[in-house]
Amino acid sequence: MAEFSGAELERMLAEARETLESMRQGGTAPRPAKTAEAADGDALEGVGEAADGAVKVVAEAAGRIKSVALDDKAMRLSAQKLGEQLVTAVNAALEDLRVKAATAAAARREAEPGERSEDIQNQSLRQMELITQAINDTLAKIGGNR
C-alpha cells in the first residue's frame, strides 16, 4: 500500500489550485467586478419618484431616508395628495434599494467562489492529513504485529 505524506497532499492541492486559477483566467467568462455599491453596502441608495417626477426620494442602505425633493408642481398638490405621493415615492425608493442590495449580494457571492473554494480545499487538506496519519498509524500497527 502506498503512503501519502502531508507534503505530497499539499503539492497535489497546490497543483489543483494552479490549474483552477489558470482555467479561471483563460477562456472563461470574466468574474464580475465589484461595483462601488457592492463593495461598500453603505453606498447603496434606492431612488423613488411619484407625481410624474415632482416628488423624488432617496433611501440609504440603512433603511433611512436620505433626501426628499419636491418641485414646484408638487407644492401645488393638496396636502392629502402630496402625502399620498410621498408615501408612493418612499415605497418606490425602498423597493429600489432592496433590489439593488439583493443584486449586490448576489454579485459578491458570484465574484468570490475562488476564495470559498480555497477555504474548502484547505479544510479538506487538513482532514486528509488526519486521515492519512490515521491510516499510516494503522498500517504501522498491522505491520508491527506480523
SS3 (DSSP) at 57: strand
Q: What are phi and psi of 66, to 5 degrees?
A: -85, -45
pLDDT value at residue 38: 44
pLDDT at position 40 over 60: no
Read off the pLDDT of each residue in 2-24 and give the average, rounded to a whole number.
62
Taking alpha carbons only, the member of 66, 61, 58 closest to residue 89 is 58
At 75-126, the pLDDT tens digits run 999 999 999 999 999 999 999 998 888 888 777 777 665 666 777 777 888 7
Q: Domain spans of the chain?
A: 41-111, 112-146
pLDDT value at residue 114: 60
Count of other CB atoms within 10 angstroms of residue 59: 26
CATH fold of the domain at 41-111: Ybab; Chain: A; (3.30.1310)
**Going by C-beta distance under 8 Å and a sequence separation of 6 or more, which residues neighbour residue 121?**
13, 16, 17
CA pair distance 17, 36, nearest whole angstrom: 29
DSSP 53: T
pTM of the model: 0.51
Q: What is the largest CA-CA distance in the chain?
A: 99
